[in-house]
Chains A and B, each alone.
Chain A
Amino acid sequence: MPELDILSQSAELKFRDQAQALALSEKLELLFREIGREITEMHVCGSHEQAIARYGLRSVLPKSLDLIMGPGCPVCVTDLPEVDEAVVLAQDGCIIATYGDMVRVPGTAKSLAEAQAEGGRIEIIYSAMQAVDLARRSDAEVVFFASGFETTAVATAAIVLQGDLPKNFSILSAHKYVPPAMEIVAQIPQTRIEGFLAAGHAATITGWGIFEKQVERYGIPIVVGGFEPLDILAALVRLTELIRNGEQVVENMYPRCVTKEGNRVAQEQLWRVFGTASGRWRGIADIPDGNLRLRDEFAHIDARRKFEIDLTRLRENVPSALAQQCVCGAIMSGLATPADCTLFGKECVPENPVGACMVSSEGTCKIWHQYGGHPDL
């Protein structure tokens, strides 16, 4: 049984093993020859896309496999009004502490970087604790504009539960929860996604069991995969086998890191602090339960409840003509690639990004701009 071969390999994949990479790529080629048609598979993680692009994996994939990145960049899916909230708070004199990539993400009127140029106080942090320390050292209100998926949200939850937060500290949560977004994207008829490659480290927290309901509901198999080129190839082989066999199941090809139950300590903290809320993911859709918001118990540190955030003053601003040509939303929904965008690499470059996907190191456009997306070999 070739399937079993692949499964047993996943426990002991070796890095940079050319022979094994070749074997996996040949196996994938054979599978596609057997299947005899085009298949679209989607991954949902910026780190996966970085690895795929960095190691030029698309050059060893069968021509009839369309491997696309979905909504896997938390910075990119932060919606314009969420950025606007942070901009308004900065204009009102709060210090905004946020992870680096969030600073240049465009809002309706402006980015935090532009708010900073106009005198706003924006601090780049690398950890939630640094935001708390900033508040301890300051008399001003410090708002932690918190972004990221589950893996990062658990860190925010931990600082909330650790207690003893300074009175001038609050959180503006732009945290997102990936599983519901996968469901929405799976339902977009034009995407024709037949399998998902789920992100290894998010699943470290949530466990792979969380995907079982989704597979039951939509009949699209899901394989959890790691970030090594061989991890990714092995996961794609397995996913393609499941598609060929018509097996609608979840499989874990990253057992080195991921269990069925996940990290229960982290999950418990995550859900004690956050509840899910529906909200828009930039350019994609309204995602039911896709946003993580602080529970009522933590209203006193929720910037949305602590401050009156008046967005009306930004309303007159219309996105620029260039921004209106941006196809980030279609890219994150799996309907387009950066190559389909007229701005990509011309008007829109990392130094001067038009859309969010060119801002973040997890955005498809920035990754393709650095590494190239689809090597012609």
Chain B
Amino acid sequence: MCLGVPGRVIQADGLVATVDFWGVCREIRLDIVDQPVEAGDYILNHVGFAIRKIPSEEVEETLALYEELLRAAENDMMAADVRDELRASAARQAREGSDA
């Protein structure tokens, strides 16, 4: 549960960012990340909050680790924890729908 999951910022708007996790776009809060975040940056999402900005030189390795994890079997515990992190935020569209 404390592994988090990395994603690419599509758009940052105040305290909310739209973040792409392997093609799935989610809304992630920026309240507790300690560096400015902008489109193109990678962040680590934990329970719907960006807890850190991933330095650009580490992005590739970080993604490789998670991709290996996500290829694991459905019942693999580490993979399941990562998938849970993806459920931690409303899909961008669903959120806009409920606000309307």
Contacts and interface: CB of A to CB of B under 8 A. Distances in A.
Interface of A: 14-16, 45-47, 50-51, 54, 74, 99-101, 126-130, 133, 148-149, 151-152, 154-155, 157-158, 161-162, 199, 201-202, 204-205, 227-228, 256-257, 263-266, 269, 361-362, 366-367, 370-371
Contacts of B68: 15-16
A133 B88 CA distance: 12
Contact of B46 (A201, A227, A265): A201
Given A149-B2, A152-B1, A263 B81 contact: no
A256 B58 contact: yes
A4 B68 CA distance: 30
Contacts of B49: 127, 154-155, 158
A201 B4 contact: yes
A152 B77 CA distance: 19
B65 interface: yes
Interface string B45-61: 01111011001001001
Interface string B70-99: 000001111011001101111000000010
Interface string B21-43: 00000000101111000000000
B78 to A, nearest CB: 5
B77 A129 contact: no
A56 to B, nearest CB: 14
A204 B58 CA distance: 15
B32 A154 contact: yes
A366 B5 CA distance: 22
Contacts of B58: 256
Contact of A263 (B34, B47, B75): B34
11 contacts: A99-B1, A126-B87, A158-B31, A199-B2, A201-B51, A202-B2, A263-B34, A264-B34, A265-B32, A269-B31, A361-B81
